[in-house]
Chains A and B, each alone.
Chain A
Amino acid sequence: MQAMSSLSLVDLQIVSPMPLMRVFRAYAAEVMYESLRMMRSPAFAIPFLLLPVPVYLFFGVMLAAPAVAKNPGIGTYLFSGFSAFAIMGPALFGVGCTLALERDAGYLKLKRAWPAPGGAYLIAKMVMAMVFAALAMLMMIVAGVAAGKAHLSATQLLIVAAAMIAGAVPFAAIGLFIGVYTSGSAAPAVTNIVYLPGMWLSGLFIPLPTFLEPWAVIWPAFHVNQLALGAAGVAEFSFISPAISAAVLTGLTVVFGGLAIRRLARAG
């Protein structure tokens, strides 16, 4: 223990305040390590980060080739739809299921006992979802451009990407909500109940039966897609105003995020 006695192990300066730079570093560390650990989790990274692009290439490019040949606009719509699909998974599962597991493990309790800056944990999860959305969009844009099926200008591609990255936030909020109200073993099942129907019934990649069409508006994925297409000015597939979609998504974020934070503050 020679090393020990030469070190000052205890800081008795009880009044020492936290320098602002250190507070900022704490947020940054939280975000960085949250993204890092998700990236390292193969159960998460393989299905949600690596799978969407092959799925897009197979269904959205190869199998849809005849339809796109007739109407190139469909290619753009499929690009946007599969992008929305690509950002949903990390946000819903990456936030919700890990939160539920960490609550089960008692980790969240420890986090609350530590002097982590306010909300760092939740913000880290939100930003992680956006980081993954950005990575997913990067790969989607490379794939879409390489396949030549996304008929969008560079500006439009950037707008779609920005909308999708922002669109990860409401899904992360829904994930938080699921994560704080369910146990680690139930969270995946509950998340799937939102994820799977939301994926198909929002009409992201297959035309919906007529009677289901009006119901697409209840799914957040539909609004993310509409926000991206509307903001990028793809009039052909813009069914509702992007402003309305943005408002719906903001509302979802506030409601689900707010409920989750309230419950976390009370029960942990």
Chain B
Amino acid sequence: MSTNDRLHALDAVRAFALLLGVVFHAGFSFLPGLIPGLWAMTDNSPSTTIGVLLYSSHIFRMSLFFFVAGFFARMMFQRKGARGFWTNRAKRILVPLVAGWVVLFPLIAVVWIWGVTKTFGGAVPPPPANLPPPPPGAFPLTHLWFLYYLLVLYVLLMLGRAAVHAIDRGGSLRAAVDGAVRGSVSTGIAALLLPLPLAWSLYARNEWFAWFGIPTPDQSVIPQWASVIGYGTAMVFGWLIHRQVDLLTAWRKQWPVLLAGAVAATAICLSIVGLHPAFLPMTSGIAKLGYAYCYGVAIWCWTFAIVGAATQFMSQPNPRVRYLSDASYWIYLVHLPVVAACQVVAGRLSWHWSVKFPLILVVSMTFLLLTYRYMVRSTFIGQILNGRKYPRNPGSGVRGSEFGTRSSKSSQDTVDGLGSESSSSPESRTPSAQSIATLSGVEKRYGLTVALAGIDLEVRGGELLAVLGPNGAGKSTAISLWLGLLEPDAGTVRLFGGSPADVETRRHVGVMMQEVGLTPELRIRELIALTASYYPAPLGTDDVLALTHLEALAHRPYAKLSAGQKRQVQFALAICGRPALLFLDEPTVGLDVDAREAMWRAIRELVAQGCSIVLTTHYLEEAEALADRVAVLANGRLIAAGSVDEIRSVVSRKQITCSTTVGLDEVGAWPGVLSVTRSAQRLQITAADAEAVVRRLLAADQRVRDLEVRQAGLAEAFIELTKEAA
């Protein structure tokens, strides 16, 4: 049983506890002897069966919920730390509490007034004169009290945890507690010990409506003792169980016995308190103490039995259960006015309860599930409640596989050679002398990080300049400066002799950025039309679609494209304005071979027609295939610039590999050898003067085999250069 399996099971348990609450409230109007006016509706077909069902479920549903909450609280605390924990809880508990109350309270009030008016046939009697005074801190929390108590208990839990950590520095106390928990769970005594504090607090309570178990603390913001103790015990125990997760397996074996115990304890409780709810406080005495204890035993037997059964049967991920688990939070939050409204509608119909009760459940659950499906699951509400927004259309999540041509030279453990004259930047062949875009002495910092440390770079008319460099080298910063998205800290940035901040200047610039999300609802054709509208003389939309091979996707919403298709669309948007200067930031990432070839062809055609292009890339063969000139950035500095050939010749080194008996150290000492490694039987030599090294090698070992000499590719040149700059 992996950790994830446990989570599936406990998620299901939490959903079960919440959905049971919907059942509980849906049955409330059918309680026998319900005092009119106490609930939104008093149904004209009361039912003892429903009464017993509600009584039994109400014993454990909230304790079970708080137990699971305690378990997950520790899990989250472990994963996210204190700060992350509180941020998460603020978003997922506090916001729903506040927002939920503001929305739901008026709705509940309206339904209640409607229902009570109907209950009394239009003439609501005045409230009895001898009403008890409102409790201190009176506030109608409604059923959302559970969120409030979660927050209160989290605070207490965190304080308790801090206190334990302060006192118990050596961890011996915690070890003792863990031992006690393990012992009590494996022997089953836990279900008999845990009820003790609750039983005492219930017994000590003056006005205890015993039929309804742990008092529902929905009337006051001042925490009620019995409730804090009852639910606090559950939460703390959940927390402690997470310290030793394997204990869950104990209940997996014990659950049938625990279930029998739960039914027995529930039966004893019912025999004391009666099948019909008593809306009166229990009189003090030994029966009260016995009942309180027995009630607590029932709570824990039910809780452990359900958790055990769930870990046995619900551990496998199941999409339906998962969906219900996600929906249950929303459903429980908003169910009360919905369920009560159904009860009000049904309350005076002359049908039997066995028809009405299921009907109320079905109608309200259908409504609640539909609202979840259409208003929550894929919206910000789902984001807040469940921490994630599901895509509206689960089939569209095709991930573009990254095309694996990254020439990452597997880093062998080379004995590194000497430095070289890497920062000499040979200037040469120019397709056109005219400078289209320049960075002159440009510096840019983000706080203390230097992104660009005094760079001079120019793009000439009709050339393709490839900007290479590792992540964080400053490539994207340079492009952002040229696009006017950033202001340089020093130096000047020019585009067509003007400022990039000027819209007029940018009307001749096309751009494709990294990691950009376009409007998901717009179709490809519309995105192109919108972008083209910014330019003075753009291409027609159909031409753009044909050029970029996107005709088939023209009417597809952007959100439904694969990663690679999205890149193609972004390329289409970059060229639709017939730009004279084009910035392409890693354009072919995520494209398949065909799409990449097509994009390369389009890029070559643009250059042929006189477009100047700045292209950043990780794919070195892309620069080799397309670039007129290459600029290499590392750590915010320009370390080399020139044609592809020139960059290669900057590192005039060659790779020599052979099988030889000559020793590693001997070769390393020869002049002209920069580094040497041995892998298996083969020596690998990096040399500045390959011919001399080969002559000497042949002289030293007549039987040299598999001799191979080759020019370092741009990949090697690039790695050498950036390594030296670092």
Task: Please give the residue numbers on chain A whose beta carbons come within 8 Å of chain B beta carbons, in ascending order.
Answer: 1, 3-5, 7-14, 16-19, 22, 25-26, 29-30, 33, 36-38, 40-43, 46-47, 59, 63, 97, 102, 104-107, 109-110, 112-118, 185, 187-189, 192-193, 196-197, 200, 206, 268
Q: What residues of chain A lie closer than 8 Å to B575, measured between beta carbons?
A: 9
Across the interface, do B503 and A14 meet the contact criterion of CB distance under 8 Å? Answer: no
B526 contact set on A, CB distance < 8 A: 33, 36
Q: Looking across the interface, which residue of chain A has its beta carbon closest to that of B580?
A: A12
- Interface flags for B564-601 (1: CB within 8 Å of A; 0: not) read 00000000000101111000000000000000000001
Nearest CB of A to B148, in Å: 17
| Chain B neighbourhood of A30, CB < 8 A | 530, 533
Q: Which residues of B contact A7 (CB under 8 A)?
A: 539, 543, 547
B490 in the interface (beta carbon within 8 A): no
Binding site secondary structure of chain A: helix
**Chain B residues whose C-beta falls within 8 Å of the C-beta of A107 in the assembled complex:** 516-519
Q: Which 6 A-B residue pairings sit nearest by Cβ, starting from the closest? A: A105-B517, A188-B380, A43-B379, A37-B521, A11-B578, A113-B483
A185 to B504, CA, bound (A): 35
Q: Chain A residues with Cβ under 8 A from B209's Cβ?
A: none
4 new A-B contacts at CB < 8 Å, known A10-B578, A18-B536: A106-B516, A107-B516, A116-B503, A117-B503
Contacts A3-B547, A10-B606, A115-B535; A109 near B513 (Cβ below 8 A): yes
**B103: chain A residues within 8 A (beta carbon):** 196
- Nearest residue, chain B, Cβ from A43: B379
- Taking the nearest CB of chain A, how far is it from the CB of B582, in angstroms? 9
Ordered by A's residue number, 29 sampled pairs between the chains whose C-beta atoms are within 8 Å are A7-B547, A9-B539, A9-B578, A9-B605, A10-B606, A10-B610, A11-B536, A14-B496, A14-B580, A17-B536, A18-B504, A26-B533, A29-B529, A33-B522, A33-B530, A40-B521, A46-B375, A47-B375, A102-B519, A105-B518, A107-B519, A113-B483, A115-B507, A115-B535, A116-B503, A189-B95, A192-B95, A193-B99, A197-B102
Residues of B within 8 A of A200 (CB): 102, 106
* Chain B proximity of A188: nearest CB distance (Å): 3
Interface size on B, residues (CB 8 A): 64
B563 interface residue (CB < 8 Å to A):
no
Interchain CA distance A56-B663 in the complex, whole Å: 90
Residue of B nearest to A11 (CB): B578
Interface centre among A11, A22, A29, A185 (most CB of B within 10 A): A11
A4 contacts B602, C-beta separation under 8 Å: yes
A10 engages B380 (CB within 8 Å):
no
Residue of B at shortest CB range from A17?
A: B536
Is B674 an interface position by the 8 A CB rule?
no
With a CB–CB cut-off of 8 A, which chain B residues contact A22?
533, 536
- Do B99 and A192 touch (CB < 8 A)? yes
Q: Closest CB of chain A to B245's CB: distance in Å? A: 30
Q: How far is the CB of A109 from chain B (nearest CB, A)?
A: 6
* Chain A residues with CB below 8 A from B496, complex form: 14
Structural contact, A18 and B91, CB atoms closer than 8 A:
no
- B318 is an interface residue with CB less than 8 A from chain A: no
Q: Of A26, A102, A187, which one neighbours B534 at CB under 8 angstroms?
A: A26
Question: Chain B contacts of A38 at CB under 8 A?
Answer: 521
Q: Given A19, A106, A187, which contacts B513 in the complex, CB threshold below 8 Å? A: A106
Output the least CB separation between B535 and chain A (Å).
7
**Once the chains bind, are B508 and A14 in contact (CB under 8 Å)?**
yes
What are the residues of chain B within 8 A of A47 when measuring CB–CB? 375, 379
Question: Does the CB pair B611–A10 fall under 8 Å?
Answer: yes
Chain A residues, Cβ within 8 Å of B380? 43, 97, 187-189
- With A and B bound together, what is the CA distance between A5 and B547 in angstroms? 10
| CB-contact partner of A114 in B383, B534, B605, B611, under 8 A | B534
* Docked-complex contact A115 and B530, CB < 8 angstroms: no
Chain B residues lying within 8 Å of A37, measured Cβ to Cβ, are 519-522
Chain A residue with minimal CB distance to B510?
A: A114
- Which residue of the partner chain A has the closest CB to B507? A115
- Report Cα–Cα, A185/B381, bound state, in Å: 10
- A9 to B609, Cβ gap below 8 A? yes
B509 within 8 A of A: yes
- Is the pair B515, A106 in contact by a Cβ cutoff of 8 Å? yes
**Minimum distance in angstroms from B594 CB to a CB of chain A:** 13
Contacts of A33 on B, CB cut-off 8 Å?
519, 522, 526, 530
Residues of A within 8 A of B484 (CB): 112-113
Residues on the B chain within 8 Å of A13, using CB: 537
User: Does chain A have a CB within 8 A of B159?
Assistant: no
Distance of A128 from chain B, by nearest CB (Å): 12
Asked if B536 and A196 make an inter-chain contact with CB atoms under 8 angstroms apart, the answer reads: no
User: By the criterion CB–CB under 8 Å, are A5 and B605 in contact?
Assistant: yes
**Interface of chain B residues 491 through 517 with chain A (CB within 8 A):** 496, 503-504, 506-509, 511, 513, 515-517
Q: Is the CB of A115 within 8 A of B374?
A: no
The answer to whether B537 touches A16, judged by C-beta atoms less than 8 angstroms apart, is: yes
CA distance A40 to B522 in the complex (A): 8
Query: Which of A5, A42, A185, A189 has the most chain B CB atoms closer than 10 A to its own CB?
Result: A189
Asked whether, in the complex, the Cβ of B106 is within 8 Å of the Cβ of A206, the reply is yes
**Interface residue? B546 (CB, 8 A):** yes
**Would A268 and B374 be within 8 Å (CB), given that A7-B547, A9-B578 are in contact?**
no
Q: Is the CB of B375 within 8 A of A113?
A: no
Q: Does B114 contact A (CB under 8 A)?
A: yes
A115 & B578 in contact (Cβ 8 Å cutoff)? no
Task: Say yes or no: B99 contacts A196, CB within 8 Å.
Answer: yes
In the complex, chain B residues whose CB is within 8 Å of the CB of A112: 483-485
Is the beta-carbon distance between B539 and A115 smaller than 8 angstroms?
no
Interchain CA distance A75-B515 in the complex, whole Å: 52
Q: Is the CB of B536 within 8 A of A9?
A: no
Q: Determine whether B278 belongs to the interface, using a CB cutoff of 8 Å to chain A.
A: no
A30–B509 alpha-carbon span in the complex (Å): 19
Q: Which chain A residues border B534 with CB–CB below 8 Å?
A: 26, 114-117
With contacts A1-B601, A25-B533 taken as known, whether A113 is within 8 angstroms of B611 at the C-beta atoms is no
CA distance A10 to B577 in the complex (A): 8
Q: Which residue in A117, A188, A196 is a CB contact (below 8 Å) of B102?
A: A196
* B383→A188 contact, CB < 8 A: yes
Tell me the bound Cα distance from A79 to B602 in angstroms: 58
Query: Contacts A63-B110, A115-B503 known; A1 to B605 CB distance under 8 Å?
Result: yes
What is the CB-to-nearest-CB distance from B324 to chain A, in angstroms, rounded to a whole number?
A: 21
B516 to chain A, nearest CB (A): 4
Q: Determine which of A41, A59, A63, A114 lies in contact with B521 in the assembled complex, contact meaning CB atoms within 8 Å.
A: A41
Residue on B with the closest CB to A39? B521
A229 to B511, CA, bound (A): 50
Closest Cβ of chain B to A262, distance in Å, is: 16
* Complex-state Cα separation, A1 to B534, whole angstroms: 26
Residues from chain A with a CB closer than 8 A to the CB of B546 are: 3
Cα–Cα distance between A19 and B534 once the two chains are bound (Å):
11
The interface residues of chain B lying within 8 Å CB-to-CB of A11 are 508, 536-537, 577-580
Shortest beta-carbon distance, B104 to chain A, in Å? 11
For the complex, is B378 an interface residue (Cβ under 8 Å from A)? yes
Report the Cα distance A246→B362, complex, angstroms: 49
Distance from A84 Cβ to chain B, minimum over Cβ atoms (Å): 16
Instruction: Say whether B384 faces chain A, with CB atoms less than 8 Å apart.
Output: yes
User: Which of B375, B378, B518, B609 gathers most chain A CB within 10 Å?
Assistant: B609
Q: Name the residue of chain B whose CB is nearest to the CB of A113.
A: B483
B546 nearest CB neighbor, chain A only: A3
How far is B485's CA from A197's CA once the two chains are assembled, in angstroms?
Answer: 38
For residue A29, which residue of chain B has the nearest CB? Answer: B533
Which residues, 432 to 469 on B, are CB-close (under 8 Å) to A? none
Q: How far is the CB of B131 from chain A (nearest CB, A)?
A: 20
A187 to B536, CA, bound (A): 36
CB distance from A100 to the nearest CB of B (A): 10
A58 to chain B, nearest CB (A): 9
Q: How far is the CB of B601 from chain A (nearest CB, A)?
A: 5
Q: What is the CA–CA distance of A9 and B578 in the complex, to the nearest angstrom?
A: 5
Q: Does B696 contact A (CB under 8 A)?
A: no
A123 to nearest B CB, angstroms? 14
CB pair A188 B384 closer than 8 Å? yes
Distance between Cα atoms of A193 and B373 in the complex (Å)? 24
Q: Name the CB-closest residue of B to A59.
A: B110
Cβ contacts under 8 Å, B378 to chain A:
43
Q: When chains A and B are docked, how far (Å) is the Cα of A112 from the Cα of B578?
A: 18
